[in-house]
């Protein structure tokens, strides 16, 4: 039986003055086999193609890993929206 569970990392910075290196290093150290990254504002889910790709293609048994919750969502509404997407796909949090 295959017990492999993929970890998918998501790194995000808001401005060009910030650096993704620390996030990528932490996600790699956490065992993420793939790290998606982008430089986008986190104020909304719209306009974040790498995160949307992850949410579209993540499968049951895979884990989305972030270094801090604010890299994923900046509002409870966006976090709840992601939770709804997860529930529709039957992916546990």
Question: Would you identify the CATH topology of the domain 7-88?
Answer: Rossmann fold (3.40.50)
**pLDDT confidence tier of residue 85, bands split at 50, 70 and 90:** low
Q: Cβ neighbours of residue 6 under 8 Å, at least 6 residues apart?
A: 33, 34, 59, 61, 62, 63
pLDDT of residue 9 exceeding 70, the answer is yes
Confidence label for 80 from pLDDT (cuts 50, 70 and 90) = confident
- pLDDT on residue 90: 52
What are the residue numbers of the active site?
14
Check whether 1 has a pLDDT greater than 50: no
């Amino acid at each position: 039986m295959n017990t492999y569970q993929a970890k998918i990392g998501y790194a995000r910075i808001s401005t060009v003055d910030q650096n993704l290196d620390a996030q990528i290093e932490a996600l790699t150290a956490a065992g993420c086999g793939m790290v998606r990254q982008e430089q986008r504002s986190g104020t909304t889910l719209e306009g974040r193609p790498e995160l949307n790709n992850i949410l579209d293609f993540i499968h049951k048994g895979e884990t989305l890993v972030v270094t801090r919750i604010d890299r994923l969502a900046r509002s409870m509404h966006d976090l709840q929206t992601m939770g709804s997407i997860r529930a529709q796909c039957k992916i546990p949090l």
